[in-house]
Structure 1
């Protein structure tokens, strides 16, 4: 039986509810959510107290969220709060009033906990070993150094995009003098932690609303064809150019920037100033935008306590996608994957560069039937769509497209048509790779056409432009033989050898 859980993230800039579902097959997904740009950090008075108006707004927002939570019949709902409430002088009073009004007991995270949860959400969704993780919030920013996928150092800085905008008002843009002062303040805070300066030439992974906004603005500017900012890579010059354009614009013109949401128009400039200043200070190699963060980390920690951190984000996400779309036989796709691996090993035996091809092929093999969850007829078309729009973590955008095209491959013309709008990402050489691995996957599928996964072992041999496939099986392979003969011509065009199913031996 499926269960649903809610996490409420009470941030300095916005308050969010995310509702997760754990399915009966062991998968999880987000099924609903809501957001309000409450700007609590801007409602902190000179004495450091959250105003009663701010408390009332918080209670009103949480009450609305509780109505939505009630409709989903949640097993548990967890409200967490970060800098705005953590730093408020009347923190206890806020928690008391919220509990009396809504029944929710807010858990206030320390800066260290906030960094740890953010790291967990990121590391479960991106295949990266070493780097800096920067989470720019409304009232605080967390910087974490991780090596070999483990936290080495972290610190929470008492500034964010909202709090700095309160001091360096960017309504009319940001002058050179104001920018220099802002950068000096951020740099001075970084300089207090000597460990930061000891690590250079690492990627800067950026999470939070500022980071996502930067990704969306840049993608809109270049007409980027892939509708996802998670794991989007940017170079220093690209972010610097974007920042210079934004900071010259007054707010009324800035709000017309494509890709920039209306609730971030006023705070985007100080947010990007923090981002670029940290990047320069740590001498990072590139920016990587991460769409997963604090809430995802809380979800994994609280609801998967036995293993909150996944060692392989790609394997984990493949398993989750398969468990979400259960129309295909698990045994069948695993058997097809095994056959595909054997075929690739034979055909590229002496090719040292086959490792990434193996990853693409085996990922596609495990996912090629997920489209049948929508309908069997034209399931390949649905498979392509689902892969492109699923959280296939651990792969770049280009690699996700490669996997989607290989998994849904039927012919060269259909593959070209499907990828026509992705020309910015897929080159002609990569199209040729799709044709080759797509036909190889089709051969692997053909060798279990009956879906009885009855082949126990394979002996593969290339001779005289033929790929001889000697199979030992526990049942008749008549369907398989017919299907192999059907695709043999197309396979030879791509691999230069004609597959021949030979000496099929029954072990019974």
Structure 2
């Protein structure tokens, strides 16, 4: 296992992300550090990075280097974006960073920056057609893609710092917001391609402002899942938050739960820009991406093929990342998944569940033993927690919660209805019956590979009167597997109203 570091020096903040690179092309983030540097502050006057901002950036990068050394990092990817890209004193700044910090910092072109943002999004969200917005301190990226190819991109040289500074004199917070809205609508009016987007396009928000927005909405709505990636915010909900925030001064904004105190004075400029974009398009919701430019670099490093072609099975890649990281028995997990899906198809006449639940069953089956790494005796409880907090890519929050409960209900008597009710805003009433039926399928599939030998090759089911007869195709002695699977008979009767026989 190797360690890599991604250092992202933006116009507003600097971030360090440390990741383990696992064999077979997977990575797991294990630490990060973020510092506000405000590198673009006051740049608009003469185009130079100011000495106080340079000093703060260098101090931050030295601290990042110390963390890299402490973690025995094998490779550092360090890059700067718009502020350094536009700075007239770029060269002297980079020389100072190289001398003091001991690593080379690359300056990304506008095209390189937007491409890396796109890599982060397209390899972590199942959204085939989208428009990505990434707002930094001094610029805004808009990227249109379709069929996993970039069609259009625009880099507007205005961000949260520049907008906040531009409309800051003798104005109330509300007046400032209104002026930014008007100004940004004029900017968007000059972009022809956003005027003719077909209804299949989705609006994807990337960056700290969008993540903070999601955190605020989740706190307001008492959202039970601590995950902002792939979180959907409707335009109506956004407008309510915006109306609340735009009248507050910086001090009051800093007290908003979910909003970073370092972002309080510039947050409304981001919201005003988003509001203008929504007004300039037909989007009625936004999808928050927790992955962006830094994840783009990590994907490119660990899966070099993503430079040419995005990951095809995003969910599968994300699941296998965790299986490798936890060092689980992957052949067993795969065989249980295969048997579970066979049972799902064979029992379709009884469970009558739509095909969308196959994804839920796949997640549950492949990850059902992740809790073993915490405690064997309570492994299904811990697997539930592990799945719920896995931040899996390529899956909706609803499917993630359902998969976690499918594992938790290994014995239906262990299904906590009080715990289930906490997720009432995510799951639907009919999902509970589906969870119970999928849980029984998973328990039987797991039992049929009790010795982890793959002895049970295939299953066929016959529904005869009040019984279901499962016929197994086996290699060798499978008495252990069949005996263990028959232990699910009572739960099978409860979920399917049929008696269970296994041959």
TM-score interval, normalised by the smaller of the two chains:
over 0.9
Instruction: Give the Å deviation of 1:350.
Output: 9.1
**Correspondence list, 1:279-294, <5 A:** 279-294=278-293
Match of 2:196 in 1: 198
Q: Secondary structure in 1 aligned to 2:113?
A: helix
Distance 1:16 1:92 in 2: 21
The equivalent residue for 1:347 is: 347
Would you say 1:366 and 2:366 are equivalent positions? yes
Deviation at 1:200, TM superposition (A): 4.2
Structure 2 unaligned runs (5+)? none
Aligned to 1:229: 228
Deviations 1:129-163 (A, max 9, x none): 11211001111010011112221111111111111
SS at match of 1:490: helix
Q: Residue 266 of structure 1 corresponds to which residue in structure 2?
A: 265
Instruction: Give the equivalent residue in structure 2 for 1:402.
Output: 402
- Per-residue CA deviation, residues 353-376 of structure 1 (Å, 9 max, x unaligned), is 621111111221111011112221
What is the 5 A alignment of 1:371-390? 371-390=371-390
Say if 1:173 and 1:211 are closer, same or farther in 2 by CA, change over 3 A: farther
Please list, as runs of the form range in 1=range in 2, the aligned pairs for 1:114-129 lying within 5 A after superposition.
Answer: 114-129=113-128
Q: How does 1:5-20 map to 2 (within 5 A)?
A: 5-20=4-19
Q: Which moved more, 1:267-276 or 1:44-53?
A: 44-53
Q: Which SS does the other structure have where 2:430 is aligned? A: helix
CA distance, structure 1, for counterparts of residue 25 and residue 487 of structure 2: 38
Instruction: Report which stretch shifted further, 308-317 or 112-121.
Output: 308-317
Corresponding position of 2:462: 461
Give a deviation string over 1:366-387, Cα, whole Å, max 9, x none. Answer: 1101111222111111101111
**CA separation of 1:175 and 1:458: change in aligned 2, threshold 3 A:** closer
Q: Which runs of 5+ in 1 are unaligned?
A: 503-508
Question: What SS class does the counterpart of residue 32 from structure 2 fall into?
Answer: strand
Aligned to 1:185: 183
Deviation at 1:352, TM superposition (A): 8.0
- Taking the aligned partners of 2:192 and 2:455, their CA distance within structure 1 comes to 61
* CA RMSD, 1 decimal: 1.9
Aligned to 2:322: 321
Name the CA shift for 1:334/1:387 in 2 (closer, same or farther; >3 Å).
same
Mapped contact 1:200–1:282 kept (Cα < 8 A): no
1:452 paired residue number: 453
C-alpha distance in 2 between matches for 1:37 and 1:160: 15
Q: Does 1:441 align with 2:439?
A: no
Judge conservation of contact 1:468–1:499 (CA < 8 Å) in 2: yes
Change (3 A) 1:204 1:45: closer
1:425-444: per-residue Cα shift (whole Å, max 9, x none)? 23332112111111111111
1:243 matched to 2:246? The reply is no
Is the contact made by 2:353 and 2:434 (CA closer than 8 Å) also made in structure 1? no
How far the C-alpha of 1:210 sits from its partner, in A, is 0.7
Is the contact between residue 469 and residue 500 of structure 2 (CA under 8 Å) also seen in structure 1?
A: yes
CA deviations over 1:236-274 (Å, ceiling 9, x no partner): 111111111101111222211111110111011001111
Going from structure 1 to structure 2, the CA distance change for 1:26 and 1:171 (only over 3 Å counts) comes to farther
Does the CA-based 8 Å contact 1:467-1:497 persist in structure 2? yes
Q: Are the structure 2 counterparts of residues 21 and 43 from structure 1 closer, same or farther at C-alpha, using a change threshold of 3 Å?
A: farther
1:33 aligns with 32
In the alignment, structure 1 residue 427 sits paired with structure 2 residue 419: no
Which residues of 2 match residues 91-240 of structure 1 at below 5 A? Answer: 91-169=90-168, 173-176=172-175, 178-201=176-199, 202-240=201-239
How many residues of Structure 1 are paired with residues of Structure 2 in the alignment?
499
**Measured at CA, do residues 271 and 236 of structure 1 come closer, stay the same or move farther in structure 2, by a change above 3 Å?**
same
In 1: Cα distance, 2:142 partner to 2:351 partner: 41
**TM-score w.r.t. length of structure 2:** 0.95
- CA–CA separation in structure 2 for the residues paired with 1:359 and 1:303: 25
**Alignment check: 8 A CA contact 1:173 1:251 kept:** no
CA separation in 2, counterparts of 1:169 and 1:414?
A: 58
TM-score, normalised to structure 1, is: 0.94
Question: 1:484 touches 1:499 (CA, 8 Å); kept in 2?
Answer: no
Deviates more, 1:103-112 or 1:17-26: 17-26
Shift of 1:417: 4.4
Q: Is the 8 A contact 1:171 1:251 kept in 2?
A: no
Q: Give distance in 2, aligned partners of 1:170 and 1:468.
A: 78
Distance 2:44 2:342 in 1: 67
Match of 1:505 in 2: none
Structure 1 residue 40: deviation in Å?
0.8
Instruction: Tell me what 2:89 maps to.
Output: 90
Report the counterpart of residue 506 of structure 1 in structure 2.
none
Q: CA deviation at 1:72?
A: 0.7
Q: Partners in 2 of 1:135 and 1:251 — Cα distance?
A: 22
Quickly say closer, same or farther: Cα 1:38–1:337, change in 2 above 3 A.
Answer: same
Q: Spell out the pairing of 1:472-483 with structure 2 (5 A cutoff).
A: 472-483=473-484
Partner SS, residue 304 of structure 2: coil
Q: Secondary structure at the match of 2:184?
A: helix
| Distance of 2:73 and 2:280 partners within structure 1 | 44
Task: Please give the secondary structure, in 2, of the residue aligned with 1:233.
Answer: strand
What is the CA–CA distance in structure 1 between the aligned matches of 2:319 and 2:7, rounded to whole Å?
27
Cα 1:250/1:23, change in 2 over 3 Å: same
- CA contact under 8 A between 1:171 and 1:266: conserved in structure 2? no
